[in-house]
Amino acid sequence: MKSGPTLSLIITAWREPRTVGKSLEIFLKQIDFKKDQVLVVAPDKKTLEAAQTVSEKIETLADEGKGKPAALNLALAKAKGEIVVLTDGDVWTNKDSLEPLLKEFKDSKVGIVSGQPVSLNDKNTLLGFWAYFLTQVAHKIRMAKSEKGEYFDASGYLLAARKHLLPVLPKEVLTDDVFFSQKVHLQGYKVAYAPQARVYVKYPTNIKDWVKQKVRSAGGAGERLVNQAPVMRGFSNEVKGSFYFFSLPKTPKEWIWLTFLYLARAYVWMLVFFKIRLLKRRSWPRIESTK
């Protein structure tokens, strides 16, 4: 950015040479390398090489493939900016996404800012409708809580934070965005929402991958990762909150799909209980259909 605080953009990736370039090209039009920094961290050589072909000024870091928390810890240790922007190598943003994020930091009480995930999936399919519905529900909840000054979880698909507020991530954390949001909140800072900063996400296109992704995200987000921190998501909160959004389905087919979604989410929470709460599972396979 040409004005404001110094910025470190961090993109974490894994075997994403095809998509990381598009993400970087959009961001580089918003970056001022005289004061800003761009870091791409990935365990594989092809992704790092793809990043460097976009610009020599991009810094690349090879992590050891021990998971996203370790990769983020490595990148944050190298980040020089007052503000860090975190995103992934398989998503991309609108061409003016950074300005709305940074604008929120004019309020000295704001510690972390969330962008708005937007689904790229075809809404006219079952899983595409599910992705549309869930992202719209999350957007409406964030808007409502932001307007009231209440806590909510920032989205790890695109978030910005004051670097000095971000702690080292424990290796067992499943949802780094929730952990960071809770930590920042407990330091007395606000979580803000910048819906104009849109991040376009491809969600799973088969049921097997959908379940894998949701078990991990729901399991992590439903935990109180930091003592005394609020929990925004959980089975009971999800059931109570989602009933406010019955205006989203427009056709009988979408109503049927919504019914299936509630059944699928109940199944996900059952798996969360067994796999994460009881078996303490903390590592998960790559979800190919989102790439």
Report the DSSP pairing between strands 59-62 and 110-119: unpaired
Sign of CA dihedral 282, 283, 289, 291: positive
| 8-state DSSP, 152 | -
Q: According to the model, what pLDDT value does residue 139 have?
A: 93
Q: According to the model, what pLDDT value does residue 187 have?
A: 95
Closest CA to 83 of 107, 111, 62, 64: 111
The residue to which tokens 């190598």 are assigned? 89
Least-confidence region, from 210-214, 222-226, 259-263: 222-226
Q: Is the pLDDT of residue 78 over 50?
A: yes
Mean pLDDT of the chain: 87
Average pLDDT on 44-72 reads: 95
Structure confidence at residue 216 as a pLDDT band (50, 70, 90): confident
Q: According to the model, what pLDDT value does residue 235 have?
A: 45
Higher pLDDT, 84 or 272: 84
Q: Is the pLDDT of residue 61 over 70?
A: yes
Q: What percent of the chain has pLDDT over 70?
A: 83
Q: According to the model, what pLDDT value does residue 270 have?
A: 86
Closest CA to 161 of 140, 147, 182: 182
Are residues 128 and 207 in contact, defined by beta-carbon separation less than 8 angstroms?
A: no
Q: How many angstroms separate the Cα of 174 from the Cα of each of 223, 225, 245, 276, 285?
A: 10, 10, 27, 10, 12
Give 146-155 pLDDT, tens digit per residue: 999 999 999 9
DSSP letters for 68-121: HHHHHHHHHHH--SSEEEEEETT-EE-TT-HHHHHHGGGSTTEEEEEEEEEE-S
Q: Is the pLDDT of residue 237 over 90?
A: no
User: Which tokens hold the place of 120?
Assistant: 């790229």
Q: Which amino acid is at 68?
A: K
Structure confidence at residue 213 as a pLDDT band (50, 70, 90): confident
Q: Which fold has domain 91-290?
A: Spore Coat Polysaccharide Biosynthesis Protein SpsA; Chain A (3.90.550)
Q: According to the model, what pLDDT value does residue 171 have?
A: 85
| Residues in Cβ contact with 132 at an 8 Å cutoff, skipping those fewer than 6 apart | 119, 121, 123, 248
Q: Is the pLDDT of residue 232 over 70?
A: no
Higher pLDDT, 275 or 52: 52
Q: According to the model, what pLDDT value does residue 214 have?
A: 85
Average pLDDT on 33-37 reads: 94
| Residues in Cβ contact with 284 at an 8 Å cutoff, skipping those fewer than 6 apart | 174, 212, 215, 216
Q: According to the model, what pLDDT value does residue 172 have?
A: 80
User: Which tokens hold the place of 246?
Assistant: 């019955």
Are residues 111 and 187 in contact, defined by beta-carbon separation less than 8 angstroms?
A: yes
Structure confidence at residue 242 as a pLDDT band (50, 70, 90): low
Q: According to the model, what pLDDT value does residue 24 have?
A: 96
Give 99-148 pLDDT, tens digit per residue: 999 999 999 999 999 999 999 999 999 999 999 999 998 899 899 999 99
Average pLDDT on 153-181 reads: 93
Least-confidence region, from 16-30, 32-46, 120-134, 235-249: 235-249
Average pLDDT on 15-33 reads: 94
Closest CA to 197 of 86, 93, 92: 93
